[in-house]
Structure 1
């Protein structure tokens, strides 16, 4: 399996898990979603916004890579978040709608990546203005790992609120193979 195929699997997993998380979270009231539960970003709503903020920041960086401009042009045109704890959406429905849109953009972007893209180096500045140059494929891996990390926190917060999202393992998305 190629590196690109792995990223396509992770993009599909991201979309699948976000769909499950948002469907489960939709069972809660606005007050329950906004309740500070002591997580890194306070509430379920705060943590879901953080994932969206980080995804937007990274996708805007990825869009600076010339071969990816077309697939990420709409994301590049979004306002750049101003902080990692910014509430881009304080209403759940707006957040969920934007998440669905962004996940489609991620699927399309990954589908258009080439081996040359993955092997290139991306230069960018982090949120504190510090310059970095790192292999594009490693940054994409970080991008997907970051989502999974914080969705795990949301899964715990939903469980504490009495909601179960069910199976969360990547294994559920890995297709069966003939030996």
Structure 2
């Protein structure tokens, strides 16, 4: 069975949830967004920023795959962040614009992959410069899982700040089947 429809679903889910999170975040004051709430990345803004930072780091790695020249070109102007808490912007609007851009690149990248592409291994170096080589598909799962993990934190922080993002389950994007169970 092909893995590609699963990755395409995860890319759609990623963009859908990010739209919901940023809409909720936009309803808060800058002070509320930046307030230290005791989270891994301190604030709602810090958490949203971290997701974008990690996405850039991973997309830069994924773009090294020989089949990903279009992704490599699309993100060539983005600098690779040197730290996981590197602040990309001070305010929400430019971070939201970057988020939207990244989500578009993620969807385009996943749509262009073939089954043979995801069956390859990817050689990369971690943030400390330690080389690694792992299955591309497994790294893609990590990529989407990482986003989900931190979006869960962000949705909790937003709820605590009075903003409910609503349904967050992947199930909301899975079509119902009329076929036999």
Length-normalised TM-score, structure 1 = 0.98
For 1:101-140, what aligned pairs fall within 5 Å after superposition? 101-140=101-140
Is the Cα contact below 8 Å between 1:63 and 1:72 reproduced in 2?
yes
Structure 1: tracts of 5 or more residues without a match: none
1:2-13 map, 5 Å: 2-13=2-13
Residue 32 of structure 2 is aligned to residue 32 of structure 1 = yes
CA-CA distance at 1:43 after TM superposition: 0.3
| Structure 2 gap ranges (5+) | none
Contact 1:63 1:76 in 2 (8 A): no
Provide TM-score, normalisation by structure 2. 0.97
Measured after TM superposition, the shift of residue 94 of structure 1 is 0.4
Per the alignment, do residues 72 and 174 of structure 1 end up closer, same or farther by CA in structure 2, a change over 3 Å counting? farther
Q: Is contact 1:71–1:112 with CA below 8 Å preserved after alignment?
A: no
* SS of equivalent residue, structure 1 residue 66: coil
SS of the residue corresponding to residue 134 of structure 1 reads strand
Distance 1:72 1:14 in 2: 20
1:67-88 deviation digits (Å, cap 9, x = unpaired): 0121342214311101001110
| Cα RMSD (Å) | 0.9
Moved segments of 4+, more than 2 Å: none
Q: SS at 1:40's partner residue? A: coil
Query: For residues 37 and 134 of structure 1, what CA distance do their matches in structure 2 show?
Result: 35
Q: CA deviation at 1:143?
A: 0.2
Q: Do the aligned partners of 1:72 and 1:109 also contact (CA within 8 Å) in 2?
A: no
How many corresponding residue pairs?
Answer: 179
